[in-house]
Amino acid sequence: MAIANSRVKCSICNKANATCLCSGCSKDFCFQHLTEHRQILHRQLDEIINNHDQFQQTIIQQKQNPLNSSLIQQINQWEKNSVHQIQQTAEECRQTLMKLTQKSINDVENKFVKLSQNLKEVREENEFNEIDLNNFQLKLTQITNEFLQPANISIRQDSQEFIKKISIISSFEQIRTKKIKFQQFAVTVAGGNGDGQNLNQLSYPRGIFIDNKKSIYIADWRNDRIVKWKLDSNTGQIIVNGNENGDQNNQLSYPTNIIFDKKNNSFIISNEGNNRVIRYFDKNQTNQEILMSNIACFGLTIDKNGFIYVSDYENHEVRRWKQGDTKDEVVAGGNGQGNHLNQLDKPTFIFIDKDYSLYVSDRDNHRVMKWRKDAKEGIIVAGGNGKGNSLKQLSHPRGMIVDDLGRIYVADRDNHRVMRWCEGDAEGEVVVGGNGQGNQSNQLNDPTGLSFDDEENLYVADSGNHRIQKYGKL
């Protein structure tokens, strides 16, 4: 409220008293009517809050009882009406069939009685030969067949739909089927200055993570370090290690992956060369914690409950570890090296979705597997047709992520491309790369890690070119 000119009149009493201007409705009020105006606004606010609380209760009830929604009621009513219509039609057909069957039986019975009389007469007269016997046998067979399979009664099923078909139409499905496209010429956002250990270089980068500020955290594999490249920066910043290859607490050895644990505000790093998974808290590099050891770790992912998943490529399995526990458990593979649905062969990168389904890049089986929560075996969701470069094949897949609509993106390393698959599709599609092995902006060389930023731009760890490529979403 702003103090207005004293000569301005109140919009209620029309008196030229000292007034205040309401910035919301742009009206002037004297102090008396200003108080009343504020009381009205407070009542309106109370009403909005009450409506808000009622709607909140509606949401809670709907979540607790999803079958009570109006759309579910429509489906139930359709089912009830359809069942009634089917039952009514079936009863009408039964009644008609019973009448026709009784008539057919009566006709057959009359023919049978007549045949019986003829047989009786022939026996009594003792006058018959082979021709008579054949005729009798033929008539008996005809009567029997007519009784068992009446030729004048049958059931016809119309080709047209008897019951009106219903289906669910959702804009979500339209969004799901819409193909997201990316620019085919990438921008180098980290590295790209040859293989080396300078701050403007990378050496065979593996896993990557993009934060909300579009800073890129990179498992700089052969440099034994984790580096951070800020947006539009020409050089990186070492945040973990950089103290040469080793097994001390302040050293890394061939790190393959990095993820961020929001709950504990820390990074989880797969330290392949030391066969251990570590947690890194801050710039004080001694502030590290070994989470898992004696494991041939490669891929990492974390679910919304804080469970950490690690792929063990030597034991051909994925293990899950609950923070605070001393033991972990196998959640995929663990049945030896092989290509059966309950087996893996050198699993690398992994991903967990909101339904706790685990996706695994099954490297030497040239496929991506999906293991639903508590499943004893997985299903093939990409590749699985042998090593090759057709649209239904992969060749030693590495990095793999799944978007919110369930579309699977795979770094098809040996084919130097990134593929996209939808579960159930017979083949995938090339989204970036696929233009041969090379270092041009539309080419890749052994792509390894994949990530999205918050705008759905695609980032690829172009390992053989020692760079990170960004493909803008169109």
For residue 64, pLDDT beyond 90: no
> Do 148 and 284 share a structural domain?
no
User: What pLDDT score was predicted for residue 241?
Assistant: 75
Please, what's the b/e burial string for 231-261 (b: 16 or more CB within 10 A of its CB; e: otherwise)? eeeeebebbbbbeeeeeeeebbbbbbbbbeb
How many domains does one find in the chain?
A: 2
Tokens of 160: 């047209």
- 231: in domain: yes
> Do 210 and 146 share a structural domain?
no
Q: In which domain, by residue range, is 433 found? A: 187-471
> Do 282 and 160 share a structural domain?
no
Query: What is the C-alpha separation between 369 and 197, in angstroms, rounded?
Result: 35
User: What pLDDT score was predicted for residue 328?
Assistant: 86
pTM score > 0.85 for this model?
no
Residue-wise pLDDT for 154-211, tens only, equals: 777 765 666 777 766 655 555 555 678 999 999 999 999 999 999 999 999 999 999 9
- 25: in domain: no
Higher-scoring residue by pLDDT: 275, 247? 275
Q: Which of 179, 200, 231 is the last residue of a domain?
A: 179
Residue-wise pLDDT for 207-224, tens only, equals: 999 998 999 999 999 999
Confidence of residue 248 (pLDDT cuts 50, 70, 90): low
> Do 455 and 312 share a structural domain?
yes
Average pLDDT over residues 300-307: 93
Query: What is the C-alpha separation between 474 and 393, in angstroms, rounded?
Result: 26
Query: What is the C-alpha separation between 237 and 340, in angstroms, rounded?
Result: 43
- 459: in domain: yes
Task: Average the pLDDT over each of 12-26, 70-84, 350-364, 401-415 and give the range with the smallest value.
Answer: 12-26
- 31: in domain: no
Confidence of residue 298 (pLDDT cuts 50, 70, 90): very high
Averaged pLDDT of the chain: 86
Tokens of 221: 């594999």
> Do 106 and 212 share a structural domain?
no
> Do 200 and 93 share a structural domain?
no
Q: What is the CATH number of the domain that holds 245?
A: 2.120.10.30
The H-or-E segment that residue 333 falls in is strand 328-333
What dihedral angle (degrees, nearest 10) is formed by the CA atoms of 354, 472, 436, 219?
-60
**408 vs 9, 127, 183, 420, CA distance in Å?**
67, 87, 18, 5
User: What pLDDT score was predicted for residue 178?
Assistant: 66
For residue 45, pLDDT beyond 80: yes
Average pLDDT over residues 102-109: 82
Q: What are phi and psi of 102, to 5 degrees?
A: -65, -40
Average pLDDT over residues 303-326: 90
> Do 348 and 384 share a structural domain?
yes
For residue 5, pLDDT beyond 60: no
**69 vs 58, 61, 66, 72, 122, CA distance in Å?**
11, 10, 6, 5, 78
User: What pLDDT score was predicted for residue 469?
Assistant: 97
For residue 123, pLDDT beyond 90: no
> Do 315 and 200 share a structural domain?
yes
Residue-wise pLDDT for 407-438, tens only, equals: 999 999 999 999 999 888 889 999 999 999 99
Residue % of the chain over a pLDDT of 90: 48
What SS3 class is residue 281?
Answer: coil
Q: What are phi and psi of 47, to 5 degrees?
A: -65, -40
User: What pLDDT score was predicted for residue 173?
Assistant: 55
User: What pLDDT score was predicted for residue 244?
Assistant: 63
Q: What are phi and psi of 350, to 5 degrees?
A: -135, 160
- Please name which of 320, 321, 360, 358 lies closest in space to residue 344, comparing C-alpha atoms: 360
- 30: in domain: no
